[in-house]
Structure 1
Amino acid sequence: MIFDIGEGELSKKFGNKAKFLMKMKKQGFRVPDGFVIDSNTYTEIISHNEKIEEIEEILKDIDKSNIASKSCSLFKIFENLIIQDSIIKEIEKKLKKGTKYAVRSSGLKEDLEDFSFAGQYSTFLNVEGIKDIKKAILGCYKSMYTEVVLSYFVDNKLDLKDLQMAIVIQEMVESEKSGIAFTVNPITGIDKEIVIETAEGLGESIVSGQVIPERYIYNWFEDKYDYNKTNRLLNEEELKELTSTALEIQTYLGYPSDIEFAIEKNKLYILQVRAITKIKYSKIKDEWTTANFKDSGVSASVCTPAMWSLYEYIWETVLKKFIVQSKILKEKELRKLGDMFFGRPYWNMSVVKKAMAKIPGYKEIDFDNEFGVKITYTGDGHTTKITPKTILNVIKIALNQRKILKDQNNNIVEYRKDILEKYDKYIKDENIYSLKEFENIWYTLIKKDYLKSQGTYFWQIFINTVHQTIFRDKLLKYVDKSEYLDLISGLDGVSHLRPFYDMWDMTRDILKDKESFEFWNESSIVEIKKQYEKECKKYFIPQFKNYIKAYGYHSKKELDVTYPCYCEDIETVIKMFKDTMLLDDSYNPKEDKKSQQKKYFKQLEKLKSKVSNRKYSKFISEVKDMREMLWWREEFRDITTKIYYVVRIYTLKLAELYKENGIIDKEEDIWYLKIFDIWDFIDGKKSDKDIRSIIIRNRKYYNSFRNFENENEIGCKFEGIDLKEKSSSTDIVGVGCNNGIVTGTARVVESLDEIERLQVDDILITKFIDTGWTSKFAMLKGIVTEYGGLLCHAAIVSREYGIPCIVCAYNATKLIKDGSKISINGTTGEVTILEEGKACL
């Protein structure tokens, strides 16, 4: 089949190159006219020539040793291939007399998510007439079987089955100048820089390295150009149009793009667009990671400036204070601790590692494994030896840590009481305020009350991180990892389990009442919601309303204030109730807790038999302290979720007032301002015009990366590190976080939108867990994530539910096929694929 560029529905049969061009044309970008011959035509041609089986036979046992001979054999097939008259006639109808064309390959396995075939398939330029078009088409087909392409497939273990190709035939642009534009800097990793390389004539000369192009760099976020003043090819107008178009393409697609362009008679043409698959970070000197930021939700997807600035405010204020007060580092030794790259928040691992390295016995490998970050060294990495100097240093740190811990423990109950009182006051405040009055209330909420609540939570996290490491290393001399995991499981009354416990009890009551059960089971979500809104007194609706009142501050994405909470999203909670109601008593979470607590007491008995009574008394005291620390960490996580809910509703109210007063155009614009921008506006340091300009710029940045899958770690140290060898389809290993071996069906869930696909007794395979997924844990047999650490939310909650959990299983969502039968070992972190265990690359 043949389709005009810019017409027809996009199809996999076009290949990515053709699909991108068709997208660009439909979106209004200037793409040369032409047409696409889909991949079915390739199949028809080789079928007509009776060559399908011969090609498959040649490719069957290909390896590094025979690529050259097999490529030669395949070439011979295409030298004598005949294109049917019916296809030739269809192509002829599309050709314009006297017009030259570019004939481009568009392979169906080209520009895959993790692999790029850029420059490996053939392109033929200045082709005129049907005779030469035929040769060019066969030349494109033949380029699928060059030694270079076949080697790329073999080296990257890509499937050679069903190789197909579409063809793009476009009118030639007789370019005076042409080149390539990268919408992020692929060498330095600077995500706001557009890099342009251009030369005279056709762009193929740049791609093939025949000329030295002129380079232009434009930081669009700061509106700064950087290029050699001797550059002569692009004038100011052309440069502005080119950078503007490149940014438009990136914001439209939502990820960094590699764009081929040409300029003819002052007109800019887009010749090709593909995703940039490899980005280096030569100018990002520190080590940066999203570890735990993804688990908490703030870096789970592209992040709005408002959400990141809330986190940044705490991170820069509280972490710095903790490090300095602990006497770990001096203030002058600190650098920026958090930043945004590619639309996601990262924290500065280099500074944190420098702080942790002050403690004797510190091993970098343990730190990295704890957070599940990439390893950039051999052996244990940096270790801090025990010397008189380091002992003196650690005594100083230990004394300050002891004071910090004592202060936190002495005041933590009062902190909780104070924050919850503030929460209740904000929730109950129904007064009507003027804009100025409400700005002052919002200002105080964020600058003081939010800082206190979130700061207390982060303080607890930092305390846990330091003391958990010390405690674990001491205890592991007497217990193994499996026993250690049992000692930190079975916590009583963990905050994020309370909603499910109450939901469980309510659904058991519904099951006992025939009329109520029939209503909940047979009514649609819409019908149940109507009864909820009518304040129906039957079917346990009043109890359901109380549930929403108690837990409505939760959401699927709890640490993202831009996302609706359950009190705004009743349908989701109704669905959760309907699902839970269908679970039998074997899924009772209270039984899970009893089981975990039994394991805990059993391990205490085993420990008692291994050590003296005196040492046991000391250990049991430390075990209880550590469990209490973990409990408080989760408790304050829940409290901060409440405060985030307040921040959300008050920020939305502020947005409503700003819209009414003409300061912003839409209420959602508020999320594209940092809290610091709003403070400056309230303080008179920024004008309405400044605010609008910031919103426009920040929206572009957000949209530029909304479809981009960022790397968990970035920085020049991580360049060239390839983790692909760590996991194969039969050897996937992560960090075990809860004991147990289970076998079940793998359910690969890529995003929050897919969690409803989960079925009872599935093993969830996902990148990371958000706090809003907790209600699904009860129905699962196990969990495997690509990110997270021993103290991440997925690990803590899975231990309370008593289900095996593995984190940091690199590439699990790609290596495990949805629906496969797998076995996971929550102690060792091993995943074994039992059926249909082929890597899904």
Structure 2
Amino acid sequence: MKTAGESLALGFGDIDAAMLAEVGGKAANLGELTRAGLPVPPGCCLTTEAYHRVAEGAGLKEVIAELTATAAQDTAALAGLAGRARALLLEAPIPDEVRDAITECYARLGADAPVAVRSSATAEDLPYASFAGQQDTYLNVVGAEAVQDAVRRCWASLWTDRAVAYRASNGIDHAAVRLAVVLQRMVEAEVAGVMFTANPVTGRRREAVIDAAPGLGEAVVSGAVNPDRFVVDLASMRISERRPGDKRLAIRSRPGGGTERVETSSDEPCVTDEQVRALAALGAKVADHYGAPQDTEWAIDADGTLWLTQARPITTLYPLPETTRDGLRVYFSVNVAQGVMRPFTPMGMAAFKLVSAGAAAVCGFPPADRLAGAPIMAEAGRRLFLDITPAVRSRAGRAILPRLLAVGEARAGVIFQQLAVDPRLSVTSTSMRPFIRTAMRAAGRIGAPKRLALALARPRAALAFTRRLGEELETRLAISPGATAEQRLDHAERVLRGTFPTIVSIMPVAITGYAGLGLAGKLSGAKGEQLQAVLRSLPNNPTTEMDLELWHLAKDIAADPESARQFRTAQARELADVYERGELRAQQAVERFLARYGHRGVAEIDLGMPRWSDEPAHILGVLANYLRLDGEDLAPDAMFARGAEEAERAVRTIVAMAGAKGRLRGRLAAFGLRRTRMLAGLRELPKYYAVEVLAAVRRSMRVVGEELVAKDVLDRAEDVYFLDLRETRQALAGGSLRELVAARRAAYEQEVRRRHVPRMLLSDGTEPEALAVRAAAAEGALTGTPASAGTVTGTARVVLDPVGAHLEPGEILVAPSTDPGWTPLFLTAGGLVMEMGGSMSHGAVVAREYGIPAVVGVADATHRIVTGATITVDGSGGIVSIAD
């Protein structure tokens, strides 16, 4: 159906999924479902053109301009502007042709037919933002005049406070959004509800979750009722879970229009098993039609007819890695393990894959396509995962991987143990020989036996070896300023491929330090806090050395009144502008620091991310924050010295405990702990060197980007980080890649807003941790892994991104995870709580070295703790308590 005047109204049969701009998300889906032959109540849509004609007469341009200029965090200002926009639309005249279109559209559904009048925005029911409930719906509207009024109120609801705030937080342009309105014949539902064709709690695909309640579905959608819940396996149509609700309320249509709430009560299911299976089968058809899981609304009328009243993508599911391998696969997140929750840039992803190819070659399995990375590498949500299925299904993997995870990612270790009892992941490889052969081959290629022997017999020589390795690495990273783009790409691939074999050769030396600690523990009987104390203020840790050098730089700035004034009065961005002009009072001192440590940064394992030398505002802001520290006791160098003294006391205590059991035990414990103090700090060195490699390649790729700008392939040199290495080489032949880069930037920015990244993910979409997290949340317990001993009570500061973050001295840092880019914040922190990590993760190591209590692996901490709350961190027991 098309009415007069530039498609002001369209019937569902005239609409398909490609017409989002004309009819909005809800109508596009209803039209698509109708054309697919699925049971959708008849209806029509007043297009966005109708809204546009009314909005033009309302004079919204000034309000929209103000909204665009308002920060997403300024919710009060957004709400005020949203109210002005609604008032303008409610008062605006409706042109005759639009009024006629509404009348005709309604008439097509029957004389005085009861209809649902629903908003359908162009930014709604999208794959990345559902906008569910952001605009208004009016049910059981009867009569032409009532329909006209409901349509006008739907238009105004494009500017509800919640819709405006939602758009602002998702980066959606207010000026680009329009609203269509759906008129749909009401289903007089005996029972209705919602159905997800993937489990929204666990993420498992092809598992339908159905909520049902008597009356209209609004009771379920609005959360006004505890519905019956059913879980159905879509492959077998087996109902795996039935959970009755109390169903104390039903919403029903009133004669003559509107709805009413009716008190009800029943312990009996409101749908039969046969109806549940019919719903599941219908949901499977919808999901198959779209090729993706769907969130649907449904109704069953008095005749038992099943109707679909809405469908939209499920936007909260984490994307699945693509795989061609059969059977259930288990993926472990590299991002979570490394404390980098944001997505990788394409160039960063390409670099990591090439490094993994070098690792696979060391193990004797060089991939056929090195640029594609090791076969265990997988990508999902623009983040990296490892396919650890072979480890889960092998005897060797089940023996070794949980132990490794226990010290690096403790919660993942617990999840791994849970997976071991899943019958779908039974052991298929029982022999230890393949693992032993691979381990021995890899150990031989990196020289592990001689490195271990050197570290045991001559630890100072082992330290000298690690320094020489750094010098050799710098030589290999050097490239002629006149190198061609092709030569730079060849050089980048060569050094990235050799990164893993180079840096992993340090690990036997560092492991010797931790082995010494373990030996001393067994000989003495010491455990827990006593052993942790030995790891305080370890020397030879490049990250600690960096932090202390930064503190000394801050002290030098504080000693110069003019420099101190400049840092105390200017914002970080202003300081960066002055620095880039070469006019900073402490210019040379900052330049010296960045010459040594400027290759570091936030999310530094992503080659595409800026370094401190690229964008110094962050580190200059940290320096300004250091100037706020009062009291010598809080000075990091004093804290480090105290930590070293505590460590030496702990060493003496443990040696004495071992000596009490025998003189030889005491000597061996002393031997082991000397190696611990000297070598364990090297744990951070492999990553330090790896980041040096990535920073060098980043600089070289920027030069390639400048050449691509000169060739008119890219707009900016930085755009090269949104290409991979293969594409960059091909781009040198010419031809614009602007559209590809723009699309990737947009997709990257969408993923940056994703708050949740699973530690582990199954190929059927299940997040094994999900149910455990839900149970912990229900009990109100905040428990995690003890990471740094001690107890502290203080004010929580939730920080999701360290750039520009400010931490008052003594505040407790609550973060998703941390990498070295976060550690300057540790110097003012009174304690640390992290969602991710284990007792040997980066944040835990640094917290111990600074002697601040820390608990890591605390599920959902950044949501369950709010800034300003008073919390107690028990770093010995792994418990975080929130004051009432």
Q: Which category describes the TM-score, using the shorter chain as reference length?
A: 0.5 to 0.7
Residue 471 of structure 2 corresponds to 420
Per-residue deviation, residues 464-509 of structure 1 (Å, max 9, x unmatched): 6899589649836822222222233321142112233123223323
TM-aligned CA distance change 1:32 to 1:518, over 3 Å: same
Task: Give yes or no for contact 2:347–2:720 (8 Å, CA) kept in 1.
Answer: yes
Residue 562 of structure 1 corresponds to 608
Helix, strand or coil at the partner of 2:494:
helix
Partner amino acid for 2:612? Answer: Y
CA distance in 1, matches of 2:800, 2:628: 25
Residue 591 of structure 2 corresponds to 545
Q: Does 1:99 align with 2:89?
A: no
Q: Does 1:171 align with 2:182?
A: yes
Residue 846 of structure 2 corresponds to 797
CA distance in 1, matches of 2:643, 2:396: 34
For structure 2, the 5+ residue unaligned runs are: 1-19, 30-44, 53-86, 107-114, 154-178, 187-193, 208-274, 299-308, 367-372, 455-461
Per-residue deviation, residues 660-690 of structure 1 (Å, max 9, x unmatched): 22444543442233224446778xxxx7579
Tell me by how many angstroms 1:691 deviates.
Answer: 7.4
CA distance in 1, matches of 2:571, 2:791: 38
CA distance in 2, matches of 1:693, 1:733: 47
Tell me by how many angstroms 1:712 deviates.
Answer: 2.1
Select the residue among 626, 632, 641 that pairs with 1:580. Answer: 626
Helix, strand or coil at the partner of 1:751:
coil
Residue 330 of structure 2 corresponds to 287
In the TM superposition, what are the counterparts of 1:300-311 in structure 2 within 5 Å?
Answer: 300-311=341-352
Task: Give yes or no for contact 1:822–1:833 (8 Å, CA) kept in 2.
Answer: yes
For structure 1, the 5+ residue unaligned runs are: 1-19, 37-85, 139-167, 191-204, 218-226, 228-233, 235-241, 247-255, 262-269, 326-333, 836-841
Per-residue deviation, residues 774-821 of structure 1 (Å, max 9, x unmatched): 111110001111111222111111111111111110011111122110
Partner amino acid for 1:339? Answer: A
TM-aligned CA distance change 1:704 to 1:400, over 3 Å: closer
Residue 819 of structure 1 corresponds to 868
Residue 339 of structure 1 corresponds to 378
Helix, strand or coil at the partner of 2:608:
coil
Task: Give yes or no for contact 2:600–2:691 (8 Å, CA) kept in 1.
Answer: yes
Select the residue among 344, 358, 363 that pairs with 1:317. Answer: 358
TM-aligned CA distance change 1:617 to 1:704, over 3 Å: same
CA distance in 1, matches of 2:717, 2:206: 33
TM-aligned CA distance change 1:510 to 1:723, over 3 Å: closer
CA distance in 2, matches of 1:300, 1:456: 26
CA distance in 2, matches of 1:301, 1:315: 20
Helix, strand or coil at the partner of 2:411:
coil
Partner amino acid for 2:751? Answer: F
Tell me by how many angstroms 1:746 deviates.
Answer: 0.8
Residue 370 of structure 2 corresponds to none
Partner amino acid for 2:648? Answer: F
CA distance in 2, matches of 1:465, 1:749: 32
In the TM superposition, what are the counterparts of 1:513-524 in structure 2 within 5 Å?
Answer: 513-523=560-570
In the TM superposition, what are the counterparts of 1:71-150 in structure 2 within 5 Å?
Answer: 96-100=102-106, 102-104=116-118, 124=139, 128-130=143-145
Partner amino acid for 2:796? Answer: A
Residue 357 of structure 1 corresponds to 396
Q: Does 1:296 align with 2:346?
A: no
Task: Give yes or no for contact 1:749–1:764 (8 Å, CA) kept in 2.
Answer: yes
Helix, strand or coil at the partner of 2:846:
helix
TM-aligned CA distance change 1:363 to 1:351, over 3 Å: closer
Q: Does 1:674 align with 2:674?
A: no
CA distance in 1, matches of 2:533, 2:543: 19
Select the residue among 833, 853, 857 that pairs with 1:808. Answer: 857
In the TM superposition, what are the counterparts of 1:463-612 in structure 2 within 5 Å?
Answer: 472=518, 475=521, 478-523=525-570, 525=572, 528-529=575-576, 532-533=579-580, 535=582, 539-584=585-630, 585-611=632-658, 612=662
CA distance in 1, matches of 2:574, 2:283: 65
CA distance in 2, matches of 1:772, 1:827: 26
In the TM superposition, what are the counterparts of 1:681-830 in structure 2 within 5 Å?
Answer: 702=748, 705-708=751-754, 709-715=756-762, 716=764, 718=767, 721-727=771-777, 730-753=780-803, 756-830=805-879
Q: TM-score, normalised by structure 2?
A: 0.61
Helix, strand or coil at the partner of 1:559:
coil
CA distance in 2, matches of 1:336, 1:488: 36
Helix, strand or coil at the partner of 2:797:
strand
CA distance in 1, matches of 2:383, 2:482: 37
CA distance in 1, matches of 2:615, 2:23: 34
In the TM superposition, what are the counterparts of 1:658-673 in structure 2 within 5 Å?
Answer: 658-664=708-714, 666-673=716-723
Tell me by how many angstroms 1:594 deviates.
Answer: 2.1
Task: Give yes or no for contact 1:337–1:347 (8 Å, CA) kept in 2.
Answer: yes
Select the residue among 394, 401, 411 that pairs with 1:373. Answer: 411
Helix, strand or coil at the partner of 2:796:
strand
TM-aligned CA distance change 1:799 to 1:352, over 3 Å: farther
Tell me by how many angstroms 1:613 deviates.
Answer: 2.6
Task: Give yes or no for contact 2:402–2:417 (8 Å, CA) kept in 1.
Answer: no
Residue 194 of structure 1 corresponds to none
Helix, strand or coil at the partner of 1:607:
helix
TM-aligned CA distance change 1:681 to 1:257, over 3 Å: farther
Q: Does 1:613 align with 2:663?
A: yes
Residue 315 of structure 2 corresponds to 276
What is the root-mean-square deviation of aligned Cα atoms in Å? 5.5
CA distance in 2, matches of 1:610, 1:319: 44
CA distance in 2, matches of 1:382, 1:629: 38
Tell me by how many angstroms 1:727 deviates.
Answer: 3.7
Tell me by how many angstroms 1:823 deviates.
Answer: 0.2
Instruction: Give the length in aligned residue pairs.
Output: 650
Residue 57 of structure 1 corresponds to none
Helix, strand or coil at the partner of 1:496:
helix
Tell me by how many angstroms 1:829 deviates.
Answer: 0.9
Partner amino acid for 1:288? Answer: Y
Tell me by how many angstroms 1:425 deviates.
Answer: 7.5
Per-residue deviation, residues 639-673 of structure 1 (Å, max 9, x unmatched): 22222221111111111112322444543442233
TM-aligned CA distance change 1:569 to 1:376, over 3 Å: closer
CA distance in 2, matches of 1:699, 1:603: 51
Partner amino acid for 1:823? Answer: T
CA distance in 1, matches of 2:721, 2:129: 32
CA distance in 2, matches of 1:593, 1:522: 29
In the TM superposition, what are the counterparts of 1:246-265 in structure 2 within 5 Å?
Answer: none
Task: Give yes or no for contact 2:337–2:408 (8 Å, CA) kept in 1.
Answer: no
Tell me by how many angstroms 1:567 deviates.
Answer: 1.9
Tell me by how many angstroms 1:189 deviates.
Answer: 9.3
Helix, strand or coil at the partner of 2:604:
coil
- Structure 1 vs Structure 2: percent identity of aligned residues? 15
Select the residue among 254, 265, 279 that pairs with 1:209. Answer: 279
In the TM superposition, what are the counterparts of 1:209-248 in structure 2 within 5 Å?
Answer: 209=279, 212=282
Task: Give yes or no for contact 1:302–1:702 (8 Å, CA) kept in 2.
Answer: yes
Helix, strand or coil at the partner of 2:344:
coil
Per-residue deviation, residues 88-124 of structure 1 (Å, max 9, x unmatched): x989979733433533499xxx99x9999999x9974
CA distance in 1, matches of 2:150, 2:559: 76
Tell me by how many angstroms 1:743 deviates.
Answer: 0.3
TM-aligned CA distance change 1:785 to 1:604, over 3 Å: same
Per-residue deviation, residues 346-374 of structure 1 (Å, max 9, x unmatched): 123334556783697x5847745741335
